[in-house]
Copies of this chain bind each other. A is one copy, B any other.
Amino acid sequence: MSNLSNQRVAYFNGQIVPESEVRVSFRDRGFKYGDAVFDMTRTFNKRVFKLKEHIDRFYSSLRYVRIDPGMSPAEMTRLSEEVLERNMHLLGGDDDYWLGQRVSRGVDAAPGETREREGATVIIECSPLPLKSRARFYRDGIDVVVPPTRRTPPEALSPRAKTHNYLNMIIGEMEAKTDDPDVWAVLLDTSGNLAEGIGSNIFVIKDNVIRTPRAKFVLPGISRQTAIDLARQEGFVLEETDIDLFDAYVADEIFLTSTSLCICPVRSVNGAVVADGVMPGPVTKRLLDAYVRFVDHDFVAQYLRRLAA
């Protein structure tokens, strides 16, 4: 009992329960087919980041796959905040949370039987950010490897929906990590343009112009949008356009954005060191600083403190 009070809780189909009780039937379509979508934000110093934007994107994903979550965005928001609050006492002093929502199409009955329950499966949960394991990327930069597997094209399944179908990118990651498990994979789209990695968007800087792949071919990350907005506020030209390996190989600077990393510099692409290898480069540095001011939390320092520990 007492150890339960040390366990995080999650929302699961109408109730808030200990995480260990959030178990889905093997007949849940989310398990059988990845027939589910999710979204994920984070906290900065315990404050949740752009929850509205995440919930809006989540409902876009739901419409695309035609799943009815059985609740309004407002209710999804309220429940997300409640889950976060109910778990906040478990969070370490210098830690932060991921906060996620997942909805599957629900449970298929076996033929001739009645469904276990009607409607979608809804889960809202949080977990601590992996600050320690990712801290070195802020110091050293990320080594990006582009695997041969190409990102699923929009005519098959739109990358703009955040779904439970990740095998395409998982296979790309295994290919990229052949020799080094710490590299990050960024896949090309089927036209040979840079697309995205698992949970990350890429930005390439040349002659002070910042370019990032068009939203059509990637998940339009909230951190990506934040970087775009901040770049424009800082006076940079920022283009959403087709970028290819030539752009990466001759870039002045490259960075990735992700929910956990916000903005993190890239050291190399397929072994070619970016510019002179100084991490972060001046444009990336300005955007990092702007990001820190925007979220009012020095996440870079927060990460780097883990290296000392």
List the number of copies, as a whole number: 6
Cα-based distance from A127 to B160 in the complex (angstroms): 35
A192 with B152, Cβ < 8 A, contacts A63-B249, A128-B111 known: no
In the complex, whether A112 has a CB less than 8 A from a CB of chain B is: yes
Contact of A130 among B19, B65, B111, B128 (CB under 8 A): B111
A132 within 8 A of B: yes
Who on chain B is nearest to A251 by CB? B63
Chain B, residue nearest A133 (CB): B111
**B65, B146, B171, B270: the one within 8 Å of A167 (CB):** B65
A225 on interface, CB distance cutoff 8 Å: no
User: Contact mask A110-140 → B, CB, 8 Å, 1/0?
Assistant: 1110000000000101011111110000000
Which A residues contact B (CB, under 8 angstroms)? 8, 10, 12, 19-20, 22-26, 28, 30-36, 38, 60, 63-66, 102, 104, 110-112, 123, 125, 127-133, 145-158, 160-161, 163-168, 170-171, 174-175, 177-180, 188, 190-192, 214, 216, 242, 244-246, 249-250, 270-272
**Between-chain CB contacts (< 8 Å), 10 pairs:** A26-B123, A33-B166, A63-B272, A65-B167, A111-B130, A111-B133, A112-B130, A146-B175, A154-B245, A161-B246
- The 3 lowest CB-CB distance pairs between A and B, nearest first, are A34-B34, A155-B192, A178-B271
